[in-house]
């Protein structure tokens, strides 16, 4: 098309300004929502990335390259195939099981949003730390979120008209889309609404609360071993190791040496 792909424009000249990047995100989200929720059978693109989003004369985004796409009945949850796609954009469940679904496209779209905000490739890039380190764009975005430094993700070439809050919100949407667990990712219709300014705060808060709860449960499991586990104590008379239950060890400690 007239203006090539989003990937070529992000790394080329003149760079895309913020208004164009936001418009591309919304148009691409609308296109994927249509494929997933309004087509019958639904269409799973399976290779959502900046190189497969083309730009027309007005810089409007058009989804392209349906070579890996699959048709799926609305009653079916996934399709199982050999793993195909682009490293850095492939959802973890698809990579490990060969099962792809709408949520696999959502993951790829999350990486696309990070591309739009940062202007960087999804893998094998040097982050903007000093000294620079090799990492993945998603890992870096997660790290910046944890450290409350999301502003470091923003492309320096974004140009005039840049809205910092809109960029931070787009990164939040991207991280929701790129959750490791498919069920925690939003549907594309939800993604579209969040990009248009509806419902992001609630979704982001709920995601953070769930993550904190899971972290607390994980920490509790590590801190409180099972009561029926065996501990090994050393017999002071001959140095041999004897298996004891936790309760037996506690009784020995309370009774003291004999």
Mean pLDDT across 154-163: 81
Which of 77, 70, 83, 91 lies closest to 185, judged by CA? 91
In-domain check, residue 1: no
Residue found by looking up tokens 């779209």 in the block: 109
Q: Are residues 179 and 236 both part of a single domain?
A: no
Higher pLDDT, 211 or 115: 115
Which of 139, 115, 166 lies closest to 7, judged by CA? 115
Q: What is the pLDDT of residue 255?
A: 46
**Is 235 a residue whose pLDDT tops 80?**
no
Q: Are residues 18 and 133 both part of a single domain?
A: yes
Q: Are residues 178 and 239 both part of a single domain?
A: no
**Is 126 a residue whose pLDDT tops 60?**
no
Q: Are residues 241 and 208 both part of a single domain?
A: no
Q: Are residues 253 and 179 both part of a single domain?
A: no
Residue 47: active-site member: yes
Active-site choice (47, 115, 127, 155): 47
Q: Are residues 178 and 248 both part of a single domain?
A: no
Question: Residue 234 pairs with which residues in a beta bridge?
Answer: 241
Q: Are residues 164 and 247 both part of a single domain?
A: no
Domain limits at 26?
Answer: 6-219
Phi, psi of 197 (to 5 degrees): 100, 20
The tokens describing 135, both together, are 């990492």
Mean pLDDT across 59-65: 91
166 sits in which H/E element: helix 164-177
Q: Are residues 203 and 151 both part of a single domain?
A: yes
Q: Among residues of the chain, what percentage have pLDDT more than 90?
A: 45
Q: What is the pLDDT of residue 131?
A: 44
Q: What is the pLDDT of residue 110?
A: 97
Q: Are residues 239 and 200 both part of a single domain?
A: no
Q: Could you tell me the CATH number of the domain that includes residue 107?
A: 1.10.510.10
Q: Give 240's pLDDT tier (boundaries 50, 70, 90).
A: low
Q: Structure pTM?
A: 0.78
Instruction: Assess whether the previous peptide bond of 14 is cis (omega < 30° from 0).
Output: yes
Mean pLDDT across 176-182: 95
Phi, psi of 53 (to 5 degrees): -110, 115
Higher pLDDT, 127 or 131: 127
Q: Are residues 93 and 163 both part of a single domain?
A: yes
Mean pLDDT across 13-39: 94
**Is 105 a residue whose pLDDT tops 60?**
yes
In-domain check, residue 182: yes
Q: Are residues 38 and 129 both part of a single domain?
A: yes
Domain count, the chain: 2
Q: Are residues 154 and 251 both part of a single domain?
A: no
């Amino acid at each position: 098309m007239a203006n090539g792909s989003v990937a070529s424009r992000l790394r080329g000249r003149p760079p895309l300004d913020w208004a164009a990047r936001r418009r591309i995100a919304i148009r691409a989200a609308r296109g994927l929502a249509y494929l997933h929720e309004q087509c019958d059978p639904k269409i799973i693109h399976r290779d959502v990335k900046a190189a497969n989003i083309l730009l027309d004369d007005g810089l409007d985004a058009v989804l392209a390259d349906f070579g890996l796409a699959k048709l799926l009945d609305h009653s079916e949850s996934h399709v199982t195939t050999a793993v195909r796609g682009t490293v850095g954009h492939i959802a973890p469940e698809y990579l490990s099981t060969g099962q792809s679904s709408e949520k696999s496209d959502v993951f790829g779209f999350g990486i696309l949003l990070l591309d739009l905000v940062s202007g960087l490739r999804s893998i094998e890039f040097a982050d903007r730390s000093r000294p620079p380190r090799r990492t993945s764009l998603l890992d870096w975005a997660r790290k910046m979120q944890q450290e409350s430094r999301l502003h470091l993700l923003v492309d320096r070439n974004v140009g005039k008209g840049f809205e910092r809050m809109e960029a931070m919100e787009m990164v939040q949407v991207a991280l929701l889309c790129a959750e490791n667990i498919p069920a925690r990712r939003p549907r594309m219709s939800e993604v579209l609404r969040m990009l248009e300014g509806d419902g992001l705060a609630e979704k982001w808060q709920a995601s953070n609360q769930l993550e904190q709860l899971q972290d607390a449960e994980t920490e509790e499991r590590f801190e409180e071993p099972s009561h029926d586990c065996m501990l090994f104590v050393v017999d002071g008379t001959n140095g041999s190791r004897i298996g004891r239950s936790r309760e037996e060890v506690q009784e020995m400690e309370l009774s003291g040496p004999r």
